[in-house]
Amino acid sequence: MKNIKVYNTEQLDNVRQSGKILSHTLVLLQESLRSGISTLELDRIAEDYIRSSGAEPSFQNYNGYKYSICTSINEESIHGMPRKDKILKDGDIISIDVGVRFNGMCTDAARTFAIGEISDEAKHLIQITEQSFFEAIRGLKAMSKVGDIGERIENYIRVNSTYSIVDRYFGHGVGEKVHEDPLIPNFIPPKKSIPKLKEIVRTRLPLHSVIAIEPMINMGVKDLKTASDKWTAITVDGKLAAHYENTLIILENGVEVVTLTNN
Ligand code: MF3
Ligand code: CO
């Protein structure tokens, strides 16, 4: 894990502006949610807004992906593809993942939203997933270990719920590219896990590195399967899945979350 990039002041300012455009996109998407809208319409809203802000949707053309956002409904965890015939209805939950590139710098963030009235259980899943992110960044700063992140997420989830943490996908470095080193597990690697993972959790995050932390929490079992579209990752037991992600800059005494939507 010698490849963690650190960025200069100008690049970090572009990360901040990229994050601002992304958070505004998330707010606009949230305001656009209603029963009857298709996920393709949401994709169009996001793309138009990102481009009109002088930025680009960073997911487009990433590994052949054609869209600006990922839209994952109910048992879909991540990487759901926007479609004209995927129509939201009351009682659904939808995870929306957005990527922005501004002046060459990428940011990445996701939220899970409710459509109309949802069950208390579903509300709890969304809330716990979000809170696990904020637990993860507690005390995080330059030279913290990557493993501190997954440890805080897993401890929080274990104490507060019976939910499971997806361990097949990871958070990641972000910056000039959508995905950079290091991989960031959202969980504590089991004793028998691959040596690479054990090395990753011991890695320290340098000052002015940029990462995306993205807990994916399932109401049932942790396992996902890939749908026939070859992208969408779905829970194997068909139970609900939530996702929460932000991009942040590692600073001397803490972190700066650049994709928050409530400020
Ligand atoms: N946002 C996803 C992540 O957090 C990446 C999306 S993959 C894409 O890692 F192909 F949709 F771009
Ligand atoms: Co990400």
Q: How far is the CA of 198 from the centre of ligand 2 (A)?
A: 21
The single-letter DSSP state of residue 245 is B
- 92 phi/psi in degrees, rounded to 5: -75, 155
* pLDDT for the residue 231: 95
- Whether the predicted pLDDT of 175 surpasses 80: yes
Q: Is 230 in the pocket of ligand 1 (CB under 6 A)?
A: no
- Whether the predicted pLDDT of 221 surpasses 80: yes
CB proximity list for 16: less than 8 A, separation 6 or greater: 249, 256, 258
**pLDDT tens digits, 18-60:** 999 999 999 999 999 999 999 999 999 999 999 999 999 999 9
- Whether the predicted pLDDT of 123 surpasses 70: yes
CB proximity list for 89: less than 8 A, separation 6 or greater: 35, 36, 115, 116
- Whether the predicted pLDDT of 263 surpasses 70: no
Banded pLDDT at 195 (limits 50, 70, 90): confident
Whose atoms come closest to the Cα of 173: which ligand?
Answer: 2
State the pTM of this model. Answer: 0.97
Q: How far is the CA of 215 from the centre of ligand 2 (A)?
A: 10
What is the position in ligand 1's atom list of the atom closest to the CA of 172? 9
Residue nearest to atom 2 of ligand 1 (CA): 97
- Mean pLDDT within 190-206: 90
Q: Is 135 in the pocket of ligand 1 (CB under 6 A)?
A: no
- Closest of 215, 217, 19 to residue 136, by C-alpha: 215
Banded pLDDT at 191 (limits 50, 70, 90): confident
- Whether the predicted pLDDT of 9 surpasses 90: yes
Q: Is 97 in the pocket of ligand 1 (CB under 6 A)?
A: yes
What is the position in ligand 1's atom list of the atom closest to the CA of 214? 4
